[in-house]
Structure 1
Amino acid sequence: MPPSNSDAHQFAAQAHAGQVDKGGKPYIRHVNRVAGAANDRAIHAFEVDGLKINPEHVLQAAYLHDVLKDTPTTAEDLVQAGYVPPVIRMVQLLSKKDEELSYAERIGALIQSGNLGAILIKLSDNEDNTWADRQLPVGIGLTACYSASMPRLRDAATALGYTGP
């Protein structure tokens, strides 16, 4: 039996244990906010827009969205934990693979994948990263990158049939 949504949350909590964001807050709080927003979007895409998207898979991938990037976790670890290929694929799409690419180029590659779930997660991630109450002291350049990517991500989601926020 594949892992449940609560298993994905627990996996992420363990993987990110002890990590804090650049504001000094437990990193899992960011993960939880991203997962909540992505879940709402996936449910809208499925129930309102009638799109072929599995909200449960999107929620699991949202919980796991930074485990490959920010922890020693590998894609093989996710396979061994029983995550289904669509969940693992979204997590891989959301993880930096090629340090040679700029942030804008990585967003372009994500959009080119046509993976609505991953696009909705990245949109939720960037919104959380630019949220006024969570302004991270990482410099204006990164916040500007996040802000510039959001219209591109929204346009990509719309092109795939998504009508939500």
Structure 2
Amino acid sequence: MTTLAEVDALADHAHAGQVDKTGVPYIAHVRAVAAGLEPLGPHLAMAGLLHDVIEDTEWTAERLRAAGIPARVVALVEAVTNHPDTPYEEKLRLITRDPDATLLKIADNAHNSRADRAAALPPAQRERLAAKYRAARAVLWPAADPGDIATILRVVNPGLLAELTGTA
């Protein structure tokens, strides 16, 4: 059985040298996503660590399986991986067919929506992404258990809790 620490090491190696839009090492993003998912189970946390590895590195689903990553984890990573021929809105609808993939994408969205990360972006990009992430939450959140969403948000982006409870 592959451990969470082994998956973390794989993700760290796969994303070595990559930075996010704000210049922060990319591994910080996937670790934040995984931290929000860890209370919901090890497979979700592993998927959090690997959620961008197929999209943003040389790793493939086949290579992940060959490395001993559980098939369910690989399936979750594949479910949230962007495909150039699939519009983003359609991708979100497809993700909501799988409750765990939905939670994975919610955690990713929550970290991408953090105000402290957005503050480092140019205003036009910050506004465009904020609108994209809000629209995604309108699709993703109704497909998930509010308690699970709150569990993720408490760790990844507590600032979204008011939006979840309708007190924003």
- Who is 1:74 aligned against? 60
Which structure has more relative contact order (CA 8 Å, sep 6+)? It is 1
TM-score (structure 1 length as normaliser): 0.82
Q: Which has the higher helix share?
A: 2
| Amino acid corresponding to residue 22 of structure 2 in structure 1 | G
- Who is 2:161 aligned against? none
- Who is 1:103 aligned against? 88
136-145 or 115-124, which moves further after superposition? 136-145
- Who is 1:152 aligned against? 139
**RMSD over aligned Cα, in angstroms?**
1.5
- Who is 1:65 aligned against? 51
Structure 1 regions of 5+ residues with no counterpart? 43-54
Q: Please, which of 117, 142, 146 is the counterpart of residue 134 of structure 1?
A: 117
- Who is 1:88 aligned against? 74
* Aligned 8 A contact 1:104 1:145 in 2: no
| Amino acid corresponding to residue 37 of structure 1 in structure 2 | G
Q: Distance in 1 between matches of 2:140 and 2:37?
A: 13
Q: Distance in 2 between matches of 1:128 and 1:143?
A: 12
| Amino acid corresponding to residue 91 of structure 1 in structure 2 | V
Q: Distance in 1 between matches of 2:17 and 2:134?
A: 28
Q: May I ask how many residue pairs the two structures share in their alignment?
A: 145
Q: Distance in 1 between matches of 2:121 and 2:55?
A: 20
- Sequence identity percentage: 35
- Aligned structure 1 segments of 4 or more residues deviating by more than 4 angstroms: none
TM-score (structure 2 length as normaliser): 0.81
Report the Cα offset of residue 100 of structure 1: 2.6
